[in-house]
Amino acid sequence: MTYGPVITEARRAAELAARTSYGRLIASLASRSRDIVVAEDALSDAFAAALATWPERGVPSSPEAWLLTAARRNLNHRARHENVQLGAVAELLSRIDEGAEVTDWAAVDERLKLLFVCAHPAIDENIRTPLMLQTVLGLDAQRIGSAFLVAPSTMGQRLVRAKTKIKQAALRFEVPDLREAPTRLDDVLRAVYVAYGSAWDDHAGGRGLAEEALYLGRTLVSLLPQEPEARGLLALMLYCESRREARRDASGRFVPLPEQDPRRWSTAMIIEAEALLTAASQAGRFGRFQCEAAIQSVHAQRGVTGHTEHAAICLLYELLLNHTPSVGVAVGRAAALIEAGALEDGARALDALDPESVLLYQPYWVVRARLAERRGDQELMRSTLERALGLTEDAAARRYLSDRLV
């Protein structure tokens, strides 16, 4: 008998479960054990057991349910053998509910509770978003550290300390009272958006994480319908997701937004996003995600009118920069000015940025190259494109930039 294909199938099933269900599994386990580190250890052991068992017995019909049950048994075993009081053991075992049948993920999805725990005021503000990205959405310390420009080892230490804080402070795993939830909402929304963004360049493997972010966005809107920023975030993600298929041509080549065929955009997603943005605006409370969604709404209008209102995009970026200043927003505003034909204004906007803050920021060099191209400076365009190429990890985007250098 040949075991190679069987082992490969089991490994693929485990990897798929890790990509698509890690957050749900950790959240379900942590909500019962009240200890994120213990939940992660239990799930890690469950994955190890799966890789040892599935090649011989076959992949179960529901790998996620199998993993959750195995992890619960690990928690049960740990509770019985640790040196704790009998009363605490009984309480923990009642939470674990080892024999529960897992058939309805909606009933056991505890991710929102875990998101709000990670956003608790007792947790250091700078680690809240990274903590949510790891515990709820399954990103590793290296990927998170890269997103936040922090060494993976440093990020890992900070995450461990935050998880320990949750346990020591005995923070409650629950969605807070509606009067308290908005104070934590900004951190939760930011984490969901960073998760979606991390899946954006990964055209194939990132779809699962993008779907998870969209699911959480929809759930937040349902949970907090009075919060316009929750609607703004969901609208923003839907506008972006509506163009996913148009971002690659038939050969897999990257296609930037101005060159995309609007006929390949998802009309249904755009309509849903427009309705969400309209409803959010009626609350009369301006916010970052509403503004970013409005920028994407202007881009989406090209599918109807055939052209892009660059002046409107410039105005929206100005509002966004005043409300939420950041390097990314500043570069976006400069790009909008350049596309609107205001080359000198765009150049001044780029020149005003701190050189250290943009040294390794790939979009900055892409915009610099675009400015040089619009000015007719081919030599400068090539040198800045080469700089951008050196900072680009996505294979399709690298190919696109390389083609422009030919």
Domain definitions of the chain by residue range: 4-104
Per-residue tokens: 217: 């966005």
Which 8-state DSSP code applies to residue 176?
Answer: P
Quick one: pLDDT at residue 207? 67
Q: Nearest CA to 276 among 334, 325, 205, 217?
A: 217
Quick one: pLDDT at residue 206? 53
Q: Is 264 exposed, middle or buried (0-12, 13-18, 19+ CB in 10 A)?
A: middle
Helix/strand/coil for 137: coil
d(C-alpha 256, C-alpha 370), whole Å: 13
d(C-alpha 106, C-alpha 192), whole Å: 18
d(C-alpha 252, C-alpha 247), whole Å: 9
Quick one: pLDDT at residue 106? 41
Q: Please check whether residue 220 is in contact with residue 189, taking contact to mean a CB–CB distance below 8 angstroms.
A: yes
d(C-alpha 390, C-alpha 159), whole Å: 30
Per-residue tokens: 57: 């017995």
Q: Nearest CA to 143 among 254, 31, 19, 47?
A: 19
Q: Which long-range contacts (CB under 8 A, 24 or more apart) does 78-82 make?
A: 78/38, 78/41, 78/42
Backbone Cα Rg of the chain: 23
d(C-alpha 335, C-alpha 373), whole Å: 12
Helix/strand/coil for 123: coil
CA 333 to chain centre: 23
Per-residue tokens: 18: 């890790």
Degrees to nearest 5, angle at CA 20 with 191 and 58: 160
How many of the other CB atoms lie within 10 Å of CB of 283? 15
Amino acid (one-letter) located at 191:
A
The pLDDT profile of the chain, 406 residues, written as one tens digit per residue, is 445 566 788 888 888 887 777 877 887 788 777 788 888 899 889 999 999 989 888 888 888 889 989 888 888 887 776 655 434 444 443 443 433 444 333 433 577 788 888 888 889 988 988 888 888 777 777 777 776 767 888 888 888 899 888 888 888 777 777 677 777 888 899 989 988 887 776 554 456 778 888 988 998 898 888 899 999 999 999 999 999 999 999 888 999 999 999 999 999 999 999 999 999 999 999 999 999 999 999 999 999 999 999 999 999 999 999 999 999 999 999 999 999 999 999 999 999 999 999 999 999 999 999 999 999 999 999 999 999 999 998 888 999 999 998 7
Q: Please check whether residue 35 is in contact with residue 167, taking contact to mean a CB–CB distance below 8 angstroms.
A: yes
Q: Nearest CA to 360 among 203, 191, 153, 148?
A: 148
State pTM to two decimals. 0.79
Q: Nearest CA to 258 among 318, 206, 327, 310?
A: 310
Helix/strand/coil for 254: strand
Q: Please check whether residue 11 is in contact with residue 54, taking contact to mean a CB–CB distance below 8 angstroms.
A: no
